[in-house]
């Protein structure tokens, strides 16, 4: 007899999050492309739902870049008021900075890798879904435009490859879903093969 699965209910709160994230990221595109940024956020939310995330986690996935890209702590406070403490906490955990001003790239990435080791399960799922989609996009773009893709990233080719290799190692040491970690590892292996 097949086991029944309880799927999360996506209600008014999720609809409000869709409108809010559209307003926040309207006019924003993926790095040096004409792909609307909201497409990435929708894919990440979809992956979170596929891997058992509930409505709050799906909302956090939609908003995971809002603090970094759209206003820092002020935006995080708005998210807390609109969507609650759990969503805001996960979004905060998924941000590599809470201020508008950026630290140097390598410092941000090393700090984020250290943070992942103690992140909540919800934040791990959202972060991992984000990294899987980012890695998939890099692989596609390596096929399409070759090494020009590396100019999009603050770490360049060497730094980006280092960061994604370290992400795989770090996620393997956490409670993140092993099959999704495996998907990230496959994408990162493809990145390394294509980068040679």
pLDDT in tens, 39-77: 999 999 999 999 999 999 999 999 998 888 777 789 999
Where do we find the tokens 């435009």?
145
Cα angle value 194/139/190 (rounded, 5°):
50
Query: What's the whole-model pTM score?
Result: 0.91
Neighbours of 10 (CB within 10 A): 16
What are the residue numbers of the active site?
Answer: 68-69
For the stretch 13-26, pLDDT in tens is 999 999 999 998 88
Structure tokens at 60: 């956090």
Six token digits for residue 25:
């990221």
Task: Give the span between the Cα atoms of 172 and 105, in whole angstroms.
Answer: 23
């Amino acid at each position: 007899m097949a086991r029944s699965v309880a799927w999360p209910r996506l209600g008014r709160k999720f609809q409000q999050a869709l409108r809010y994230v559209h307003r926040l990221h309207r006019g924003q595109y993926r790095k040096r492309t004409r792909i609307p940024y909201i497409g990435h956020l929708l894919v990440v939310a979809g992956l979170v739902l596929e891997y058992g995330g509930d409505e709050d986690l799906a909302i956090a996935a939609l908003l995971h870049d809002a603090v970094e890209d759209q206003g820092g702590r002020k935006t995080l406070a708005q998210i807390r008021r609109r969507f609650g403490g759990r969503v805001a906490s996960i979004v905060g955990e998924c941000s590599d900075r809470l201020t508008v001003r950026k630290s140097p790239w390598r410092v941000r990435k090393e700090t984020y890798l250290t943070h992942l080791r103690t992140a909540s399960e919800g934040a791990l799922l959202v972060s991992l879904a984000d990294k899987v989609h980012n890695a998939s996009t890099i692989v596609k773009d390596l096929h399409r435009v070759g090494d020009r893709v590396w100019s999009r990233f603050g770490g360049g080719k060497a730094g980006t490859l280092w960061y994604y290799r370290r992400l795989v190692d770090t996620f393997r040491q956490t409670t993140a879903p092993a099959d999704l970690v495996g998907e990230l590892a496959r994408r990162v292996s493809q990145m390394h093969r294509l980068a040679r």
